[in-house]
Structure 1
Amino acid sequence: MDALIRKLEHFSQFTEEEVQALSTLSDLPVIVGPRQDIIREGDNPNGVNLIVEGYAIRYKALPDGRRQILGYFVAGDICDLRVFVLKRMDHSIAALTQVAVRVISEQRILDMTDRYPRIMRALWWATLVEESISREWLLSMGQRSAAERIAHLFCEIHRRARIVGLVDGNSVPLPLRQTDLAEMSGLSVVHVNRVLQELRKRRLITFDGQMLTILDVDQLEAFALFDPLYLHLDEGKGMVSSRQPIVATGG
């Protein structure tokens, strides 16, 4: 559960007791194979899904199979904290790679948030960041150019992966096909291919569908008009406890 704790400690640093509570939120993880649904639109959720290893996406699909990817999950991300309030899912969550998922029951969430107010506030923060990311994706779809959209997505994923220890230097595993990037950005696969060529030609990135390396972080962020404010990664400054925070490492 280290990835979840690393992420939440960008809002609040926890006591040893609180860390123990977070560590025992759920039972052993369930393994989901690559490109398999974790939960489908229309399913009745019996808890919330926490990604502890691997990469996943949120998506909606039309009856004819056309799909829009609405979100991207890395280790430490909770897929829709409030989903247990719904009787049926109104979207789907799917694995991109092999994924380890912990299902957290409604009762465990309620018990923990009742007992640990600081954890409750940190989980609120995570939910608000998720909503903020959705707003930024909508802004990209409406206003950023095609190249800016892809560049912005790369900047965001790089930042989010770094806070949970998945970045080595400026490289991050990124198992995305060009069709995935098209479904994320609202572009055609041909257009995505052209954008990737442009970003490579500008010597901003290398990307092979499995590993992304940002060659010049400052230049890529400037090109994408990327402002990390919407990720709210410094909200916890000054909110300290008696416990030293977990230090993220590569891998």
Structure 2
Amino acid sequence: TTLRRCDPMQDALIRKLESFEELSDADRAALRAFVPRVRNVPARTDIIAEGDVPGDVHLILDGYACRYKMLPDGQRQIMAFFVPGDFCDLNVFILDEMDHSIGTVSPCKTVEIPRQAIEEITAHHPQVTRALMWCALVDGAILREWLVNIGSRQADQRIAHLFCELLLRLEAVGRVTDNSYAFPFTQTDVADTMGLSDVQVSRTLRELRALGLIHLKHRVLTILDVDQLKAYCGFNPNYLHLRNARWSSRRQVPWLSSVQGG
């Protein structure tokens, strides 16, 4: 990997945090000062490996990464995907050693943020602190939803649910165009995430294409009918806790809308 000086931080992190809380100009300036250097990490490379002693906090500015664990027989279980604007683990520096690995899926631009910088910005910017708390809570909510996905949904629904989740998470950071987004994941990546075989993933992708719900070509996924895909897998975005989703939910409840002044 290489380290290089960079221009002010891309807006992925700021856009993500503003999905949860309104930030001031001072908040945004502090976040941009957060990131003096960008690290370019090739695809399929560990950012930090199980057993390593963690220090800095890792932030994904561009590309896709994942949290995973390897079993003794070589089987891999992916437990989280990271998209631009995501911290790989905000409080990782508390651990004595890593109990899992974080690796890139595609080429990534990452930032290693010192613990002191995190502590300083949270001490002086309460709205940023609240937004970071939202991030940590949503990470837990996504993990719970993934457990439900693996334990209770059929193979085709699991994959459709993942597609819907990525659509909303990437929309929040401005990485979706006409319901299309970069999809560098292999069938094995999806299989290792969903607890399926490569054959099951391949069959499910064919079914979703045949139903006219998705188009996947040249590592770009297009959701052709978002509402139908959500209905197909019973997708409810409430666990992502995005401001627009929370606002939409309040507007659907008359008494709560009146209380909120809507």
Q: TM-score, structure 1 length as denominator?
A: 0.92
Distance in 2 between residues matched to 1:32 and 1:193, nearest whole Å? 29
Distance in 2 between residues matched to 1:209 and 1:233, nearest whole Å? 29
1:12 positional shift: 1.2
| Corresponding residue of 1:176 | 185
Q: Secondary structure at the match of 1:101?
A: strand
Per-residue CA deviations over 1:8-51 (Å, capped at 9, x if unaligned) read 00111111111111111132111110101111011111111000
Q: Secondary structure at the match of 2:99?
A: coil
1:224 positional shift: 0.9
**Alignment partner of 1:167 is 2:176:** yes
Pairing partner for 2:162 from 146, 153, 169: 153
Q: Secondary structure at the match of 2:158?
A: helix
Task: Give the superposed CA RMSD.
Answer: 1.2
Count of aligned pairs? 237
| Corresponding residue of 2:128 | 119
Stretches (4+) displaced over 4 A: none
Give the letter aligned to residue 165 of structure 2: E
1:209 positional shift: 6.3
Q: Which 5+ residue runs of structure 1 have no aligned equivalent? A: 238-251
Per-residue CA deviations over 1:38-90 (Å, capped at 9, x if unaligned) read 11011111111000011111101112211000001110001111111111111
Pairing partner for 1:136 from 133, 137, 145: 145
Q: Secondary structure at the match of 1:63?
A: coil
| Corresponding residue of 2:111 | 102
Q: Between Structure 1 and Structure 2, which shows a larger proportion of helix residues?
A: 2
Q: Secondary structure at the match of 1:29?
A: strand
Distance in 2 between residues matched to 1:155 and 1:43, nearest whole Å? 33
Distance in 1 between residues matched to 2:187 and 2:218, nearest whole Å? 8
Distance in 1 between residues matched to 2:192 and 2:218, nearest whole Å? 15
| Corresponding residue of 1:201 | 210
**Alignment partner of 1:223 is 2:232:** yes
Give the letter aligned to residue 65 of structure 1: G
1:155 positional shift: 0.3
| Corresponding residue of 2:87 | 78
- Could you say which structure has the greater relative contact order, defined with CA pairs below 8 angstroms and 6 or more residues apart? 1
Larger Rg computed on CA atoms: 2
Q: TM-score, structure 2 length as denominator?
A: 0.88
Give the letter aligned to residue 139 of structure 1: V
Give the letter aligned to residue 63 of structure 1: P
| Corresponding residue of 2:252 | none
| Corresponding residue of 2:49 | 40
Distance in 1 between residues matched to 2:105 and 2:157, nearest whole Å? 23
Q: Which 5+ residue runs of structure 2 have no aligned equivalent? A: 1-8, 248-262
**Alignment partner of 1:4 is 2:13:** yes
Distance in 1 between residues matched to 2:76 and 2:198, nearest whole Å? 13
Give the letter aligned to residue 219 of structure 2: Q
| Corresponding residue of 2:65 | 56
Give the letter aligned to residue 146 of structure 1: A
Per-residue CA deviations over 1:184-234 (Å, capped at 9, x if unaligned) read 100000011110011011100011361100000000000011000000002
Contact 1:200 1:206 in 2 (8 A): yes
Distance in 1 between residues matched to 2:21 and 2:151, nearest whole Å? 34
1:121 positional shift: 0.8
Q: Secondary structure at the match of 1:68?
A: strand
Distance in 2 between residues matched to 1:208 and 1:35, nearest whole Å? 21
